Structure 1
Amino acid sequence: MRLEILPVLGIGDVTEGDDLAVLIATAAPWLRDGDVLVVTSKIVSKAEGRLVDVPAEEGPERTAARDEVLAAETARVVATRGATRIVQTHHGFVMASAGIDASNVDAGRLVLLPKDPDASARALRAALRERYGVDVAVIISDTMGRPWRNGLTDVALGVAGMAAIRDHRGEVDPYGNELQVTQVAVVDELAGAGELIKGKRDQVPVAVVRGYPATIRPDDGAGAAALVRESALDLFSLGTAEARADGLRSAALLADAIGLEVDPAAVERAIDAVAGLIAPGTVFTHVTDDEVRESTAATVPGWPVRATGLILGAAPTPVDRPDLVRFGADLHRLRAALAAEGVPTTLLPPPTGSTALATLAL
């Protein structure tokens, strides 16, 4: 296999209303069927008029205007740190500042991402095929950072004419192992390959990848939307500060529940976590005595005898109201710590004759 990455030179500055098919076909009359056209999203946005005016001089007014634009382009804030905002766009992409760019544009303007990059890729592909008789795949690319790794790389925002993902699941490797999870984002790889000869300073907004062994589809395909992971499957959908805040909200809204299978080690970890914060004289103990469990179950209709243990909260006696308030706060600390370990809890009356102020079924 021979893979070539060819620059498309001479396109020049793109302005609103320009016909990208004409610009590209004129600059690259050598395009041929099966080529993969990698087009930076910047010129697509410019041609489609996806620009906004902001104050040219750096200062509070420009910052406020940019923040307003960012808010409009943001579907969800993922993470913030200082001036950095990682957000999810309305397309579903997670990226810094919603992809808003101030490079290669007049100082008083900002460039937004294309409204629908997949539609832009389809339109450009159709124009090249219908007007110039060349059948290519089109990738609309943009630069993104990546979690846990320094540096930027280009990825695909829009695709037409080829599958975004090459799915190897069900195939067998040379050792006879069936592949279970291997799905390769080939259009991201091709976008990164195109960036090797493009770049913000070189003013080469289009590259052609030739020789990639993929069949150009007669239809446009599902587009780059196939690359957006469903939120339910995203294990890292929040930044650190946002995840911590979400956890605190969950602790404040902690619901009562009883678990039938509880890991004793998890209970001990939760007790140890709050040991240094609770009031002097309060002791939380994991009780596993069958007789105590059964006597507690007998006092509460519907409470399952199979619940695996009890936590008894003991405080000094006699107690006054401030002590009870503090004990209630400490009890909730423990419940939150148990919830973090996956252990559900609910408050129950203490067993008859117990000196504990509260009992939690686990």
Structure 2
Amino acid sequence: MSRLEVWAPDGVPEVAAGDDLAGLVLAALADGAAGAAGLADGDVVSVTSKVVSKAEGRTRAGERDAAVDVETVRIVARRGATRIVRHRLGLTMAAAGVDASNVEKGSIVLLPLDPDASARSLRREIHERAGVNVGVIVTDTAGRAWREGQTDIAIGAAGLLVAEDFAGRTDPYGNQLAVTLPAVADELAGAAELAQGKLAGRPVAVIRGRADLVLPPGEDGPGATALVRADGHDLFGWGAREAVVRALAGAAADRHPFGAPAPEDELQAALDRLPDRADRTAVQAVCFAHGWVVDGWENDGVCRVSPATT
């Protein structure tokens, strides 16, 4: 039988800049909850990015939009006032993770400067003070493409396998798995959020039952950064409208999110779908989106192309 336990204690006080976060976490868990006292080796401690940011002094007075500008590397998509952006940490999220909830009016909270480092520090402090070997995740809330609603994900991790690689393994029917890679750190973050709730003031949770994911003391693992897909490797580097405009504009700085040059046969198949291959603007936009450039035009209107270089 497999069993997973998750609990989130009440009574965590308001966190301010400079507070001893490890001390607050250990104090909150000292009496235990859900029939499980304290912490044990192999537990995973989940803390929200909000309290990590508050302890690290990432609270600011001011407007949210201005802070979003500072935290944004590039805008992925915009619909009215809503901006989906690529954050300086590599995360693609709404409003760059800048949050104006659960904070004094007129203030906003930015994501931690380095959530993986924050997780490593908290894990080290828990081990030194309590003598237990735990994994740590720092969580934040994010939406998902094609899905309504939000769920919590791990934006920082330490002492934890953040993904289980099943590629090459065989299922019970004898089928070899090819690309199965459960993002277990995100799954743990979602489980923690179920116990924490959004309005209950429970920023800390413990997940027990997956000690197999927790690394030995001194091994922090790759962190949640390993779950961030590199810019240009995603199939959806731009929003639908933005992709059209960026391809038509053809600015060199906009090329990278479209990814590496597509195979030439894939480019030609895309060009064949154009209603008018003599429309040079359309041809150049399709080439740009596929990572190719038009080098010139023949007398019969056929273009010469070559892969773009970065």
TM bracket, shorter-chain basis: 0.7 to 0.9
> CA separation in 1, counterparts of 2:66 and 2:289?
40
Shift of 1:213: 4.5
Moved more, 335-344 or 219-228: 335-344
Rg (Cα) greater in structure: 1
Q: Deviations over 1:199-231 (max 9, x none)?
A: 231101111111125242121111000000122
Corresponding position of 1:51? 59
Amino acid at match of 1:229: R
* Contact 2:158–2:220 (Cα < 8 Å) also in 1: yes
2:298 counterpart residue number: 348
What is the aligned partner in structure 1 of residue 257 from structure 2?
Answer: none
Identify the residue that residue 175 of structure 1 maps to in structure 2.
173
Tell me the CA shift for residue 250 of structure 1: 3.2
- 2:83 maps to 1:75: no
Match of 2:259 in 1: none
Q: Which residue of 2 aligns with 1:198?
A: 196
Aligned equivalents of 1:120, 1:266: Cα separation in 2 = 46
Matched residues, number:
282
3-state DSSP class of the match of 1:113?
Answer: coil
- In structure 1, C-alpha distance between the alignment counterparts of 2:75 and 2:126, rounded to whole Å: 38
* 2: CA distance, partners of 1:72 / 1:148: 28
- Letter of the 1:86 partner, please give it: I
Distance verdict in 2 for CA 1:251–1:331, change over 3 Å: farther
Partner residue in 2 for 1:39: 47
Cα displacement (A) at 1:8? 2.1
8 A Cα contact 2:64 2:99, kept in partner: no
Gaps of 5+ in 2: 31-37, 253-262, 305-310
> SS in structure 1 opposite 2:207?
strand
Matched, 1:6 2:7: yes
Q: CA deviation at 1:183?
A: 0.7
Rounded Cα–Cα distance in structure 1 between residues aligned with 2:246 and 2:178: 33
CA 1:185–1:262: 2 relative to 1, 3 Å: closer
The aligned counterpart of 2:280 is 332
Query: Does the Cα contact within 8 Å between 2:250 and 2:285 map onto a contact in 1?
Result: no
Q: Which has the higher contact order (CA 8 A, sep 6+)?
A: 2
2:136 alignment counterpart: 138
Q: What does residue 232 of structure 1 align with? A: 232
8 Å Cα contact 1:168-1:179 kept in structure 2 = yes
- Distance in structure 2 (CA, Å) of the matches to 1:106 and 1:245: 39
- Give the aligned residue type for 1:9: D
Are residues 266 and 70 of structure 1, via their aligned partners in 2, closer, same or farther at CA, if it must alter by over 3 Å?
closer
Q: Which residue of 1 aligns with 2:151?
A: 153
Aligned counterparts, 1:227-266, within 5 A: 227-250=227-250
Q: Output aligned runs, 1:283-362, within 5 Å.
A: 331-333=279-281, 335-336=283-284, 339=287, 346-349=296-299, 358-360=300-302
Distance 2:267 2:22 in 1: 63
Amino acid at match of 2:13: G
Q: Give me the TM-score of the superposition, normalised by structure 2.
A: 0.83
Residue in 2 aligned with 1:122?
A: 120
- In 1, the alpha carbon distance for the partners of 2:16 and 2:72 equals 25
CA shift for structure 1 position 53: 0.5
Code of the residue aligned with 1:80 in structure 2: it is R
Structure 1 residue 340: deviation in Å?
Answer: 8.5
AA partner of residue 25 (structure 2): I
Length-normalised TM-score, structure 1: 0.72
The answer to whether the Cα contact below 8 Å between 1:335 and 1:345 also exists between their aligned partners in 2 is no
Alpha-carbon contact 2:43-2:211 (below 8 Å) kept: no
Alpha-carbon distance in structure 2 between the residues aligned to 1:262 and 1:132: 58
* Secondary structure, aligned partner of 1:231: coil
Residues 247, 289 of structure 2: 8 Å contact kept: no
CA contact (8 A) 1:139 1:157 kept: yes
